[in-house]
Amino acid sequence: MEKIAVAAINHKGGVGKTTLSIILTQMALLKRNRVLAIDLDPQRNFTDALSFISEYFKDALRVKSSLEPGDAECKEEWIILDCPPVLGDITKEALDFADIAIVPVRPDFFSLSNLGVLYSFAEEAGKDRSQLPLVKVGYDTSRLARMVEQVLTEKHYPVAGRVPLNRLIPYNITLGRIWSTGLTADARRPFDQMYNRITSAYTRMLDGDFASPWKD
């Protein structure tokens, strides 16, 4: 696969941007890719979490706190950008650079009300709607989750994945373990599917398919 740059964005906080950035970074590394991780959030949680596991991957992982023009020519196959929870110049710069920007969204109406603003911001930055797929985080069978899912379906948002909330994942990250330590194959499967959908969709985009890259 060609070099790919993936940003995690959403101007709503607490939806899982940094956690997904960490998971994608570690998944790419475990598949023997080199990764450039760019932490654009002033809180630096992405940097801190990756520092715990850097010894496992040695020269395959490089972490920095700013985006520079030369990063497009870096040696790494994956570039992961963790964005701040604000739609400002830094996020716009990340959007301009990224091939795909995943948008984690929780099953609540505050998340829904913010999506329109986010997609308008991305459109102004010259991004196609297909380049901003949602990642549905923590959707269950509750009435509220079903209502939110219905709205998302009606608006035809592209979807890169659907991942459950799992308390073991942040616990692993905090302790400096690989994100999937102790998870069963079934628990890992939604994250594997998300990763595979991102790589598959990007391949389709490289072939010029921006109309249906996320279709199974």
Closest of 15, 22, 6, 23 to residue 148, by C-alpha? 15
Closest of 131, 162, 122, 132 to residue 145, by C-alpha? 162
Cα–Cα distances (Å) from 71 to 80, 104, 105, 137, in that order, read: 11, 25, 28, 30
Q: Tell me: domain 4-199, CATH 3.20.20.70, correct?
A: no
**pTM strictly above 0.85:** yes
Check if the beta carbon of residue 190 is closer than 8 Å to that of residue 161: yes
The one-digit pLDDT tens for each residue of the chain (216 residues) are 679 999 999 988 888 999 999 999 999 999 999 999 999 999 999 999 999 998 889 899 999 999 998 999 999 999 999 999 999 999 999 999 999 999 999 998 887 778 989 999 999 989 999 999 999 999 988 898 899 989 998 999 999 999 999 999 999 999 999 999 999 999 999 999 999 999 999 999 999 999 999 987
- Supply 119's token pair: 């997609």
Q: Where are the domains of the chain?
A: 4-199
